[in-house]
């Protein structure tokens, strides 16, 4: 893929990044955006420039200091090597799948998040709540895209998606039809960055092809027995849209563990958070305590029991993962301190 641009604004550069350099780019430095992330290299682009560079990491050992797709870097003009990772407007991340505690970076500096779910067996409101919490945490506008509308004769069965959060934007479509997809154009303007998330086989690749206007991404058929599919994306890539925007595709994420998303969870479950503040006891567990406003709302039918269960689950998961992350950072700081002390001791011994 070739990225031919004349001005940084075409890539999404704004005053937010200029302000980090005292209103001007330092001499000898070239700003570039990370357009592709592969296992062993990055593809970056700037005004009149495109090149491949090694993965970039800050020196402090924080996993969030690793450059990911959507990031802005400063390159040394002479050597072409990356020197600095600019501060982000937002960062999407998750706990990596499996039993480890590593954090996996998804993408940075996103304007809008298209959350794709299909109108078949894959439709899962609980999974959508996770994606919504991710978007709300980072201050990014979420739009739920219900794909494969052609597979159902009862689209009203999926209206639950619009009730997951106040003011939530939901678009139902057959992603193969350009007329259906046109309703998303308002979020795809010049320099805007849109990320696509959703589990494997929900039609993300088809949606990308429709937005881009050609068969850029391979697609795969869904399995009839469970409505799921094989995801065809293996790297994180920014695709240019005819409207001037940038579309981030990510490998399918059927497992999404949240970490550090407490504020986002609070926004998605704002109704429960407000009710909890009305409980008689400030530490109410919403089980059997007297004067529990949450249990009263469930008994009266205003809140579904499943919603309370999901709220509890995401809160507990986020707290557990955030605590593990804090412990790991503490160990990293201790290790870095030990290394510095050892080096200082060696330098003193040489002087003596």
The predicted-structure confidence for 78-137, as pLDDT tens digits, reads as follows: 888 999 999 999 998 877 666 556 778 889 999 999 999 888 777 888 888 988 998 999
The predicted-structure confidence for 249-298, as pLDDT tens digits, reads as follows: 766 454 567 778 899 999 999 999 999 999 999 999 999 899 999 999 99
Instruction: Enumerate residues 6+ apart whose C-beta is below 8 A from 352.
Output: none
Which pLDDT score, from 0 to 100, does residue 85 have? 94
Q: What is the mean pLDDT of residues 48-77?
A: 88
**Residue-by-residue DSSP string for 282-325:** TT--SSS-TT-HHHHHHHTTSS-HHHHHHHHHHHHHHHHHHHHH
Whole-angstrom Cα distance, residue 91 to residue 260?
Answer: 11
Q: What is the mean pLDDT of residues 24-41?
A: 89
The predicted-structure confidence for 160-206, as pLDDT tens digits, reads as follows: 787 787 788 888 888 888 888 999 999 999 999 999 888 777 888 88
CB atoms within 10 A of CB 164: 21
Which pLDDT score, from 0 to 100, does residue 234 have? 56
To the nearest 10 degrees (0 to 180), the angle between helices 125-137 and 305-351 is 50
Yes or no: domain 91-249 corresponds to CATH 3.40.50.300: yes
Instruction: Evaluate if residue 300 carries a pLDDT over 80.
Output: yes
Question: What residue has token string 């350009």?
Answer: 178
pTM of the model: 0.78
CATH number for the domain whose boundaries are 262-335: 1.10.40.50
Yes or no: domain 8-85 corresponds to CATH 2.30.30.140: yes
Give the residue with greater pLDDT, 33 vs 128. Answer: 33
Which pLDDT score, from 0 to 100, does residue 225 have? 45
Domain range list for the chain = 8-85, 91-249, 262-335
Q: What is the mean pLDDT of residues 20-29?
A: 80
Give the residue with greater pLDDT, 53 vs 199. Answer: 53
Instruction: Evaluate if residue 141 carries a pLDDT over 50.
Output: yes
């Amino acid at each position: 893929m070739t990225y031919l641009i004349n001005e940084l604004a075409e890539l999404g550069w704004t005053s937010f990044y200029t302000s980090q350099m005292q209103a001007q780019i330092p001499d000898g430095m070239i700003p570039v955006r990370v357009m592709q992330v592969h296992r062993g290299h990055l593809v970056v682009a700037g005004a009149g420039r495109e090149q491949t560079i090694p993965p970039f990491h800050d020196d402090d050992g924080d996993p969030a200091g690793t450059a990911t797709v959507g990031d802005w870097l400063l390159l040394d003009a002479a050597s072409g090597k990356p020197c600095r990772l600019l501060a982000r407007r937002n960062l999407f991340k998750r706990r990596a799948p499996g039993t480890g505690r590593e954090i996996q970076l998804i993408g940075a500096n996103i304007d809008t998040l298209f959350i794709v779910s299909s109108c078949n067996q894959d439709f899962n409101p609980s999974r959508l709540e996770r994606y919504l919490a991710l978007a709300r945490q980072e201050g990014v506008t979420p739009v739920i895209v219900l794909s494969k509308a052609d597979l159902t004769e009862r689209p009203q069965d999926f209206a639950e998606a619009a009730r997951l959060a106040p003011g939530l934007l939901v678009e139902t479509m057959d992603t193969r039809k350009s007329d259906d997809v046109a309703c998303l154009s308002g979020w795809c303007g010049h320099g805007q960055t849109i990320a696509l998330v959703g589990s494997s086989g929900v039609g993300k690749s088809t949606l990308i092809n429709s937005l881009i206007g050609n068969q850029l991404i391979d697609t795969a058929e869904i399995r009839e027995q469970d409505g799921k599919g094989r995801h065809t994306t293996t790297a994180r890539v920014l695709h240019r849209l005819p409207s001037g925007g940038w579309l981030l595709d990510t490998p399918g994420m059927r497992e999404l563990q949240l970490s550090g998303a407490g504020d986002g969870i609070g926004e998605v479950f704002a109704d429960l958070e407000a009710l909890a503040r009305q409980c008689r006891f400030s530490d109410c567990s919403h089980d059997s305590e007297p004067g529990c406003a949450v249990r009263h709302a469930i008994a009266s039918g205003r809140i579904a029991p499943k919603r309370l269960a999901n709220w509890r689950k995401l809160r507990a998961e986020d707290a557990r993962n955030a605590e593990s992350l804090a412990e790991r950072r503490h160990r990293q700081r201790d290790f870095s301190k030990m290394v510095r002390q050892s080096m200082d001791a060696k330098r003193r011994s040489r002087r003596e």
